[in-house]
Amino acid sequence: MKQFTTCLMAVLLLCSFAGCTTETEGGAKAIVAKAITYADANGAEAAFTAINDPKGDFVRGDLYVFVVDVDGNYVAGAPFAEKRGKEMVSEDGKPIGRELATTATTEGTWISYQWKQPSTGTVTNKKSWVVRHANHVFGAGIYE
């Protein structure tokens, strides 16, 4: 048992240095639910501040929460501060923010688009879980 525990600790330590994350569909759904709960408890502006913190609870490697308003503008998201306040446009030029705003439901849905992966800087397919909540869309996605 001691060997197993030592081996497990070594793997976890290695993963922390290698950038292993919980970038799964379940992880995306869970982090979005956590952000919505935080917004309900602390208010939207406090939630946006927390979501914008690159070292905060809403960023796990390439899995991070982002928020879009009903007009499709990028409101919050830690990795891409330069996009905040602007229309969310995919890397292939599509107005993805508007699509997110019109497609998202209160129950949540998946949407795919082209986006830059923060850890690599390469443009790739991203599949995001998006939930309409109040006057915003909360999302998080996985890179395929």
68-81 pLDDT per residue, tens: 999 999 999 998 88
What's 33's domain CATH number?
3.30.450.20
- Asked if 61 and 93 touch (Cβ cutoff 8 Å), the reply is no
Query: What average pLDDT does this structure show over 53-61?
Result: 95
Do the domain assignments include residue 7?
Answer: no
Per-residue pLDDT reduced to its tens digit, 103-129 = 999 999 999 999 999 999 999 999 999
Do the domain assignments include residue 74?
Answer: yes
Q: How many CA atoms lie within 13 A of 85 on its CB side?
A: 2
Q: Which two tokens stand for residue 26?
A: 């379940």
Percent of the chain exceeding pLDDT 70 equals 85
pTM: 0.83
- 134-137: list long-range contacts, CB under 8 Å, 24+ apart: 134/39, 134/44, 135/69, 135/70, 136/44, 136/67, 136/68, 136/69, 136/70, 136/75, 137/67, 137/68, 137/69, 137/70, 137/100, 137/101, 137/104
Residue-level length of the chain: 144
Do the domain assignments include residue 32?
Answer: yes
Please state the domain count of the chain. Answer: 1
Do the domain assignments include residue 15?
Answer: no
Do the domain assignments include residue 121?
Answer: yes
Tell me what pLDDT residue 22 has.
58
Query: What average pLDDT does this structure show over 15-26?
Result: 58
Tell me what pLDDT residue 138 has.
98
What residue numbers bound the domain in which 76 lies?
A: 23-143
Do the domain assignments include residue 75?
Answer: yes
Do the domain assignments include residue 17?
Answer: no
Do the domain assignments include residue 4?
Answer: no
Query: What average pLDDT does this structure show over 43-51?
Result: 97
Question: Where does the pLDDT of residue 8 fall: very low under 50, low under 70, confident under 90, or very high at 90 and above?
Answer: very low
